[in-house]
Amino acid sequence: MKKILFSLFFITALSFNTKAESDFFGRLADSSLTLTKQSIVYDPTYCKIPYPNGDVPAGKGVCTDVVIRAYRKLGIDLQKEVHEDMQAHFSLYPKIWGMTHTDKNIDHRRVPNLMTFFSRKGTIKVMSTEPKDYLPGDIVCWNLGAALTHIGMVVKTKSSDGKRYKMVHNIGAGQVVDDCLFNYKIIGHYHYQK
């Protein structure tokens, strides 16, 4: 009898955790959708920002800012999270920019750094050509060619043919909802919940 009760408790707890996780990623997807209502000019200019919870000036941003701002709406500060992990494990992060130490103004705004962080602290999900593998709240990274990387978030809006979810990203036209999941080479697919 104790074994049966424990099994029922375990199944109930597992169902609750799965539901809570699903709710989190649904809210995350919704938070990225709200960003598309803001007028944003693509601007990759380096600037000093407060720490923690720093952000570039309102009305400006790049692809990483979509993900950063979506998480911030749920109380998760990727500037702080990435900065602290880079300080503790700097050797594990890319050295593409010739950095010899962390920079809390920009580190979290670089796609390769976010990929490293999500690989370390989140869940690495399958990279496939199957739309069913990409769910709202997932983070997708692409290679645009010539070593240019890009990042976006899967949202609940479906493509016009109903076969896949759309993305919120900023590739130059501001924070937009776009049916672009398979338009570029996927190099990363993650789930992250603190």
Domain edges within the chain: 2-191
The torsion region of residue 24 among left (phi > 0), alpha (psi -120 to 50) and beta comes to alpha
∠24-25-31 over CA atoms, to 5°? 90
Q: Torsion over CA of 65, 149, 125 and 114, rounded to 10 degrees?
A: -50
Calpha distance 112→117 (Å, rounded): 9
Residues of the chain with pLDDT under 50: 4-16
pTM: 0.90
- Give me the CATH topology for the region 2-191: endopeptidase fold (from Nostoc punctiforme) (3.90.1720)
Q: What is the pLDDT of residues 98-148, one digit of tens each?
A: 999 999 999 999 999 999 999 999 999 999 999 999 999 999 999 999 989
Q: At what angle do helices 63-72 and 78-88 cross, to 10 degrees?
A: 110
